[in-house]
Amino acid sequence: MKRFRSMLMAVVALMAACPTAFAAKAVQVKSPNGQIVVDLSTQKGQLGWTVSRAGQVLYTMENVGMKMGGQTVGVSAGSVKQRPVRETIRPVVPLKFSSIESAYTEATVAVQNGTLQLRVMDNAVAYRFQTKVKGEVEVTEDRFVLRPKIRVMTHVQLPNSWRTSCEESYTHQNIAEWKTGGKFGLTPALLSGPDDLQMLIAETDLRDYPHLCLRPVDDNAIESTFPPAPAKYEWQGDRGFNVTEEAPYLAKTQGTRSFSWRYVVITDSKGLLTQTIPTQLAPKNEIADVSWIKPGKVIWEWWNGATPFGPDVTFKAGCNYDTYCYFADFAAKYGIEYILLDEGWAKNTRDPFVGNDDLRLHDLIAYCKQKGVGVILWLPWLTAELHMDLFQKYAEWGVAGVKIDFMDHFDQWMVNFYERIVKAAADNHLLIDLHGAYTPAGLEYRYPNFISYEGVKGLEQMGGCPPDNTIYIPFIRNAVGAADFTPGGMFNAQPGIYASRRPNSAAMGTRCFQMALYVVLESGVQMLADNPTRYYQNEDCARFIASVPVVWDETRCLDAQVGSYEVIARRTGQKWFVGAIQGTNEEKTVRVKFDFLPAGRTFKMKAFRDGANADYQAMHYNVMEAEVTNATEINIPMSRNGGFAAVIE
């Protein structure tokens, strides 16, 4: 009997150690807490899986696979190996947490011509293919169909063509309505279901391949789609190109490689604001010495017309030495790390080496260095492409970074352009910020000098940047990485009353809405978009904005509802900041607890809240000071399109 029992135990141990035979039985992969379950299946020669949470089926992935070099990847599946993984991640640029505990179950599935790597987390499911096809190949198909098994509303940007700066407003509709419009959608895309179920679709670790997009395949399912590789194109001016002929493939790449992670975050409104899935799936940092990478805030002249007008201004304002010295003086006084010289600093946008005659570029760089302020230079992307030696030259000059603009494409060629310029900047210890850009897809982790992307409808749109669209950005766009929204307008107006243009640029929403954005939004370079004169006129607001960090040790969501409001608390060191915004046309009061504060201590809070007349005069705000503890509960009243901002120390 003992011998039989020993033999039985040996067989059980052997079975546990061996890969599961896919054809022998259904295979389940469970998250560490057991709540999310993935059931792998092959039906009618198609690879797919079903995702459930707490016993409820949320969606299926159908017909998952690729075609490359005449070979099929995926379809039927063989053995499955599973392993639990726990690791600690410390991001170089921590936008939410300085330390992240990551746990997941990883399944490696043998498929035709490669493997399927699947990770199941407590709040997400991710997959990627690792292919084994000889030589360089043309990828002609990369497919999946995601079919929700619950009723969902989609929140997605819908461009008119493959040429887009990814700055469209979010569209809110069910899949059938989306299908009627006939447009593809950008990722990240959010599906909102019953009982505050939120599913965010995105990708990361994108390399040598086009950016993932989505389109409806029927009234209740969406599928992958990609911009084709350009075969022929024509240049347009100093910053653009049109694809005049498309190649008959998505990408031409190596047949043996890993492809990008595609993932679905599964959580609620509050969870969207604190999830760290992009960081957990991120590729490894490739910069050995990161000590020179300094995130920070930037005073910016483009939005405000580079026209300071205070009583101390005795010079003719414009893209000239005196104006930028004035901006540098402001930055030094308020502890702002950088100034940005946008379009106009160069004598010719095609020549990145000669400043305009009034600028005295090298004198200006020296002046800023003396003040402890770094200089960031704007360039159109085509100029960078034609002058790749500029990165070395700028480093020699003492420039801190570059802002490159107007790429407006996300095919394979452009994805590779991103990598070339980001690496060139890293090799020369330059920060880089990309505008006219697609959304974050992992390159910023490999090269953390890639400090921010645009790919968002930000404040540069002025009257086209309403709070009812901005309210979605933390839940969707910022959920996948840094977003250069460029907040900070001190001339504030409610929608319907807004009427403004440069140099008197205005921002929709209340003053407190704008101030709270510095806590709510995430970017490694956070702009101060308005005029130094306006900040001098609003000293208390300017001091608060200047004090808000851009990197964080800890993030807490105190309350949130997609499309309505969010209340965020963030900590750097011993200091906490609280930001709240709401994007509806009605007043809202949110009650929150301060139980995130350490027990047994009393803290001082200075808060900016909407004034009684902010629903009409959006610049009206009040300042309050109070003592708070971890037992404190407060009501945060917000005007329509309003906000709340506080520092606790």
Q: Is residue 599 part of a domain?
A: yes
What's this model's pTM, rounded to 2 decimal places?
0.95
pLDDT given for residue 25 in this prediction: 55
Q: Is residue 388 part of a domain?
A: no
Last residue in a domain, options 236, 256, 280: 280
Q: Is residue 385 part of a domain?
A: no
pLDDT digits (tens, 9 = 90+) for 163-214: 999 999 999 999 999 999 999 999 999 999 999 999 999 999 999 999 999 9
Residue 561's domain comprises: 457-519+545-649
**In angstroms, rounded to a whole number, what is the distance separating the alpha carbons of residues 192 and 202?**
15
**In angstroms, rounded to a whole number, what is the distance separating the alpha carbons of residues 318 and 332?**
20
Residue 466: half-sphere exposure toward Cβ, Cα within 13 Å? 16
**In angstroms, rounded to a whole number, what is the distance separating the alpha carbons of residues 604 and 88?**
33
Average pLDDT of the segment spanning 72-77: 84
Residue 196: half-sphere exposure toward Cβ, Cα within 13 Å? 13
> For 235-240, which contacts have Cβ atoms below 8 Å and span 24 or more sequence positions?
235/382, 238/349, 238/350, 238/380, 238/382, 238/383, 239/349, 239/380, 239/381, 239/382, 239/383, 239/405, 239/406, 240/382, 240/406, 240/408
Last residue in a domain, options 239, 257, 280: 280
pLDDT digits (tens, 9 = 90+) for 21-46: 444 457 999 999 999 999 998 877 78
Q: Are 570 and 576 contacting, i.e. CB atoms less than 8 angstroms apart?
A: yes
Helix axes 539-547, 511-520, angle to 10 degrees: 10
Last residue in a domain, options 246, 280, 314: 280
Average pLDDT of the segment spanning 139-144: 98
Cis-peptide, bond into residue 503, ω within 30° of zero: yes
The DSSP code sequence of 370-412 is HHT-EEEEEEEHHHHHH-TTHHHHHHHHT--EEEEE-----SH
What's the number of domains the chain is made of? 2
Q: Is residue 382 part of a domain?
A: no
pLDDT given for residue 17 in this prediction: 38
pLDDT digits (tens, 9 = 90+) for 604-644: 999 999 999 999 999 999 999 999 999 999 999 999 999 99
Q: Is residue 497 part of a domain?
A: yes
Instruction: Report which of 159, 175, 162 is spatially closest to residue 222, judged by C-alpha positions.
Output: 175
Instruction: Output the domain CATH number for residue 488.
Output: 3.20.20.70
Average pLDDT of the segment spanning 61-70: 96
**In angstroms, rounded to a whole number, what is the distance separating the alpha carbons of residues 60 and 70?**
27
Q: Are 330 and 535 contacting, i.e. CB atoms less than 8 angstroms apart?
A: yes
Instruction: Output the domain CATH number for residue 34.
Output: 2.70.98.10
Instruction: Report which of 79, 71, 69, 70 is spatially closest to residue 116, judged by C-alpha positions.
Output: 79
pLDDT digits (tens, 9 = 90+) for 328-348: 999 999 999 999 999 999 999
Using CA atoms, how far residue 531 sits from 19, 305, 483, 503, in Å, is 63, 8, 21, 9
Query: What is the DSSP code (8-state) at residue 463?
Result: G
Q: Is residue 15 part of a domain?
A: no
Q: Are 66 and 75 contacting, i.e. CB atoms less than 8 angstroms apart?
A: no
Q: Is residue 360 part of a domain?
A: no
Q: Is residue 366 part of a domain?
A: no
